[in-house]
């Protein structure tokens, strides 16, 4: 009897938790008519935000992969002075409130910032441009990729690289032909997570890049702006983001499953 009661209580907790998460998402669909969504798709604010978000998030992901892969590999394979500090620094943007990230970027690259003032003297400005959107996205999303990439590289046993070396491969050849393909599922999974984080970035972007339609107004910023006027447009943008989120979760789950299967083998 007590066992049945316990099972019922656990089932109730699970149902309540699921309802708490599912209800707001379901409401987005329930409070929205397909006609209104389709109409809103043609709204310039939606088109601009979608184009800007996809462009900047894609560029951000590429930058994060190019910058993060060597860092992740070195941290996975080598010990060096200050490695702990580098690790902590990489993780910092995950914990840091986005608004703090935004103001930190302004202090560094803003017109009066430490680096920004010199760039400004050369006639080059970063803050409140599309480049600032990418800077903000790289800052907040890079830890998601680097952490995942490091774990993936660590999962590739060193004996595979050693075998490649004894067979005549240089370090670089061994990396590109052995380590990288073996870590690939994890790297793709990390890149998808970084892309997702870039797509949802709000706080650092609004502080460092501003909120200018077509230039710095990404989808989350467009939702914030349009919901004060046309709720249909905001809901349309929200639905697009939810759809992308579902797709990302499905992709990451699939890749993670394949990654662990490879590791087990």
Partner 1 sequence: MLEIDVKKKLRDFDLELSIKISRGEILMLVGDNGCGKTTLLNMIAGLIEPDSGMIGLDGRPLFDSSIKIDIAPERRRIGYVFQSYALFPHMSVYENVAFGLRTRNLSNREIELLVRDHLADAGLWEIRNARAMKISGGQKQRVALARALIIEPDILLLDEPLSSLDIRKQAEMRRELREKLRSYAVPSIMVTHDLRDVASIGDRACLMERGKIALEGRVEDVMSWASVHSEIEGEDSGSLMR
Q: Name the site residues for partner 1 (rule: CB under 8 A).
A: 157, 159-160, 162-170, 173, 177-178, 181-182, 262, 265
Q: Determine the 3-state secondary structure of 129 from DSSP.
A: coil
| Residue among 91 and 157 whose Cβ is closer to partner 1 | 157
DSSP string, 40-83: HHT-HHHHHHHHHHHHHHHHHHHHHHHHHHHHHHHHHH---TTH
- CA–CA dist 112, 103 (Å, integer): 12
- CA–CA dist 30, 45 (Å, integer): 23
What is the smallest separation between the CB atom of 171 and partner 1, expressed in angstroms?
8
What is the smallest separation between the CB atom of 41 and partner 1, expressed in angstroms?
41
| Residue among 104 and 183 whose Cβ is closer to partner 1 | 183
| Residue among 151 and 245 whose Cβ is closer to partner 1 | 151
- CA–CA dist 57, 203 (Å, integer): 15
What is the smallest separation between the CB atom of 70 and partner 1, expressed in angstroms?
20
What is the smallest separation between the CB atom of 74 and partner 1, expressed in angstroms?
18
| Residue among 15 and 167 whose Cβ is closer to partner 1 | 167
Report yes or no: 120 and 150 within 8 Å, Cβ to Cβ: no
**Can you tell me which residue has the tokens 């046309």?**
230
Report CA-CA distances (Å) from 133 to 24, 60, 167, 222.
28, 9, 45, 14
- CA–CA dist 163, 78 (Å, integer): 18
| Residue among 31 and 261 whose Cβ is closer to partner 1 | 261
What is the smallest separation between the CB atom of 82 and partner 1, expressed in angstroms?
23
What is the smallest separation between the CB atom of 184 and partner 1, expressed in angstroms?
8
| Residue among 117 and 162 whose Cβ is closer to partner 1 | 162
Report yes or no: 141 and 201 within 8 Å, Cβ to Cβ: yes
Taking alpha carbons only, the member of 156, 178, 158 closest to residue 263 is 156
């Amino acid at each position: 009897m007590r066992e049945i009661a316990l099972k019922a209580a656990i089932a109730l907790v699970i149902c309540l938790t699921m309802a708490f998460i599912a209800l707001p998402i379901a409401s987005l669909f329930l409070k929205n008519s397909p006609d209104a969504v389709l109409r809103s798709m043609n709204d310039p604010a939606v088109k601009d935000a979608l184009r800007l978000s996809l462009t900047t998030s894609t560029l951000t992901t590429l930058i994060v992969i190019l910058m993060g892969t060597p860092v992740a590999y070195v941290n996975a394979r080598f010990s060096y002075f200050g490695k702990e500090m580098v690790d902590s620094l990489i993780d910092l943007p995950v914990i840091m409130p986005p608004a703090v990230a935004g103001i930190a970027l302004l202090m560094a690259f803003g017109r009066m910032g430490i680096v920004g003032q010199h760039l400004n003297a050369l006639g080059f400005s970063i803050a409140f441009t599309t480049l600032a959107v990418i800077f903000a996205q790289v800052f907040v999303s890079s830890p998601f990729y680097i952490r995942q990439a490091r774990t993936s590289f660590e999962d590739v046993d060193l004996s595979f690289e050693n075998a490649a070396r004894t067979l005549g491969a240089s370090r670089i050849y061994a990396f590109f032909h052995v380590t990288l393909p073996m870590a690939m599922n994890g790297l793709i999974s990390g890149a998808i997570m970084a892309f997702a984080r870039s797509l949802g970035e709000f706080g650092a972007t609004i502080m460092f890049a501003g909120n200018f339609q077509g230039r710095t107004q990404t989808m989350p910023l467009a939702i914030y702006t349009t919901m004060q006027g046309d709720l249909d447009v905001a809901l349309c943008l929200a639905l697009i983001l939810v759809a992308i989120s579902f797709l990302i979760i499905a992709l990451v789950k699939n890749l993670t499953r394949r990654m662990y299967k490879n590791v087990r083998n």
